[in-house]
Every structure is written in structure tokens, then in C-alpha cells.
Amino acid sequence: MSSFDRVAPPRVRHTVLVVDDSAFMRKLVSEIVASTGEFTVVGTARDGQDALAQVRTLQPDLVTLDVDMPGLDGLAALEFLMRDYPRPVVMLSAGGSDGGHDATLRALERGAVDFVRKPSGAISLDLEIVADQLLQALRAASTVRVTAHPVLASGRMPAPHRSVPALLPLAGPPARVVCMAASTGGPAALAQLLPALPAWPDTAVLIVQHMPPGFTASFALRLDATSALTVHEAADGVPLRAGHAYIAPGGRHLRVQGPREAPRLVLGHDPSQWGVRPAADPLFESVAELFGSHAVGMVLTGMGRDGASGLRAIRTAGGRGIVQDEASSIVPGMPEAARRAAGADAVASLDELPKALAAQLERLPVLSPFAASA
């Protein structure tokens, strides 16, 4: 019996293709995937080109795909997979470097459902450490809805399109705040949504994307390169500024604290909520308390119910609530839980979210950015 055998098999087994350039890693990942009886490994592939051929022939339900491979690497193979044979893909990333983080983020933006960090490089004898993470990622991937993506231009980022760069260094505290929550499918959704938003001179944006430490800084840089908003990884004690967006760092909860005329960001190591840190609920609840009716909460694609009680707090305080619709969500759990718990002023597809957000901001009461809260 394999050292990974520990759970009785369920009734339905999802088929998996394992892709890695290392024969040792293909064998080890295959053992982990098959260990619980939930999944059947129907084949393996040694590189991206081989993966495309195997997917076409074997039609697996799921694919595990190594990021770093010779020839057609994981990122390039993912682009063709999502165009021609769309299905849930879990990336395996060596991590540990900015380059690895960037490649993983590019994969998530291009439709990968999740990623698992290899603990110590491309050929690792201690991959068993992350066996549970891999199995959890595959379980989540087996529940998602995947649609075709067009092939992108080799990961190239469009040029920034900030319309009023001179305004941003002088920006003061915001009159309005938008806060967003996202999990599975969120990197791709945010990579589409943020570049479609203007750098409002009176509005700040706060984002919680469920993501581990080490990745949120790179994610913020990638979003900043394509957005009119100036996007940062949030830092403790930093003043909240209009025209800027802040992403909660992996492993830290993000909140805002007053006074209202000089709000600042506060990071915390307090316990996880809903099994994640950062979680959206602490942020949304702090925004509701400080900004009240001058806030909009938005819950995007993701698994679970993080953001539901926070959106309820914002709407109870007089703010507005938006949820992504089921059809455009990779996983509709979070937005649906938020809609049921809090209601919503708008339910919109990913393509329509920028317009929906602009409409809800227009419905907020007018307040001077420097006026103290009542």
C-alpha cells in the first residue's frame, strides 16, 4: 500500500492527466493523485506538446501541469489547453522566486484553477508534505466550470493607461471605498476587472484575493502595470489614498481604521476566518464601520462563503453590494453565499461589473473626501 493511502474511495472517480518533465515527479504526483481513490490517473506527459496530444486522446477530467518544462512549457501549454481543450488545470510551481511567482500568476490569469507550490524545487523528495494541498486543489478543481480562453500574446502585458498620473501623488483620503473579495478564479477575474476601472479622484479600492504569502506582491505589480489605478500590496499603517488600489498580503488580514478624515491600513495576524488569511469579512466589516453608506462591496468568484457577512455589514450600514453572476464565475460559491446572506444591489457578469460598479458608486451620497464621519 502506498504511504498516501488513507481515505476510502468515493463512488465517482475523476480522471487526471499528470504533466511534468521529471519522470520521478510524474511517478510521485501520480501516486498522490491516485492514493485516495477519488481520482484515476489515465496518463502522464513529459512536456507541453505531449500534454496537448494526451489531452486530445485521453480526454481527462482534470490536468496537473508543471510550470517549468523544456520546449513548450506549462504556461504556453495552458494557453493552448484553455483555447482548444478547456478543462480544470492545477499548476505545480517550484515557487520561491519572483520569476516563479510571476509565472504562476500568469497561469492563474490564463484560466488555471489553482496551484500547488513544490516544497523544494523541481525534483523534490518531500512532495508528500504538500500531498493534502494537491488533493484539496484537485477536489476543488473537479467542481468548477471552465470555458475556453483565447490564446494570449505570450504573456505580454499591455501598457499602463493612467489618464491623470500627476494627480496620484497628491491624492488625499477617499470619500468612497470599494472593497472586493475573490478566491478561486479571482486572479483571472481581477486581471480583467481592474484594468477596466478608472483612477477615481475620490475613491480607493481594497482587495482580498485568497492567496498565500509571497504571491500578492507580484500580483499587485502585474495589476499595476495594466491599470489606471495605482495598485500596491497593502502595508501596515499606510494612509488610504483615493485613486489607489491595495491588495491584502498573503497571510495577513487587512482592515481600515480611522479617523475618517485620515484613514489608514492595518494588517493583522489574528486567526484565519473560513480557513483563509487574508479573509474578506474583516476588511468589509471595518469598511462598513468607518465608511458606512459611502462604501461598495463586491464579491467575485470563489469557493466558500467568505465575504457574505461582510457584504451584509456594508449594506446594513447603508452601502451598496454587487455580486458576480453564476454564469461568469469559475466557482459561484462566494457570490451566491453573499447574495443569499446580504442581498445585492446588482448581480452582473464579469464583463458588466465595471458598468455595475460605476452605477452603484453614483448612487452613494456625496461626501467631501476630507469631511469627518458623523
CA separation for the pair 180, 300 (Å, rounded)? 7
CA separation for the pair 243, 197 (Å, rounded)? 10
- Reduced to 3 states (helix: H, G, I; strand: E, B; else coil), residue 228 is coil
Give every CB contact of residue 293 below 8 A, 6+ residues apart in sequence: 317, 318, 319, 364, 365
Q: Where are the alpha helices (DSSP H) in 37-130?
A: 48-58, 74-84, 98-109
Copy the grid coordinates of residue 42: 489515465
Q: Which position among 14, 101, 210, 253 bears the catalytic label?
A: 210
CA separation for the pair 63, 61 (Å, rounded)? 7
Q: Are 234 and 241 in contact (CB under 8 A)?
A: no
**Number of C-beta neighbours around residue 166 at 10 A:** 7
**119 confidence band (pLDDT: 50, 70, 90):** low
Distance of CA 180 to the CA centre of its chain: 11
**250 confidence band (pLDDT: 50, 70, 90):** very high
**Phi (first) and psi of residue 130, to 5 degrees:** -105, 15
CA separation for the pair 329, 105 (Å, rounded)? 18
119-158 per-residue burial string, b: 16 or more CB within 10 A, e: under 16: beebebeebbebbebbbebbebbbebebeebeebeebeee
**11 confidence band (pLDDT: 50, 70, 90):** low
Q: Are 266 and 296 in contact (CB under 8 A)?
A: no
Instruction: Based on the residue annotation, tell me whether 210 is a catalytic residue of this protein.
Output: yes
Q: Which position among 21, 306, 325, 329 bears the catalytic label?
A: 306
Average confidence (pLDDT) over 356-368:
88
Q: Within 13 Å of residue 86, how many CA atoms lie on the same side as its CB? A: 14
Q: What is the percent of the chain where pLDDT is above 90?
A: 68
Q: Which residue has the higher pLDDT, 209 or 258?
A: 209
Instruction: Based on the residue annotation, tell me whether 161 is a catalytic residue of this protein.
Output: no
**117 confidence band (pLDDT: 50, 70, 90):** confident
Q: Which position among 183, 218, 293, 328 bears the catalytic label?
A: 183
Count the helices and strands in the chain (H runs, E runs): 11, 14
Q: Which residue has the higher pLDDT, 122 or 307?
A: 307
Instruction: Based on the residue annotation, tell me whether 73 is a catalytic residue of this protein.
Output: no
- Asked if the model's pLDDT at residue 185 lies above 60, the reply is yes
- Reduced to 3 states (helix: H, G, I; strand: E, B; else coil), residue 301 is coil
- Across the chain, mean pLDDT equals 87
- Asked if the model's pLDDT at residue 248 lies above 50, the reply is yes
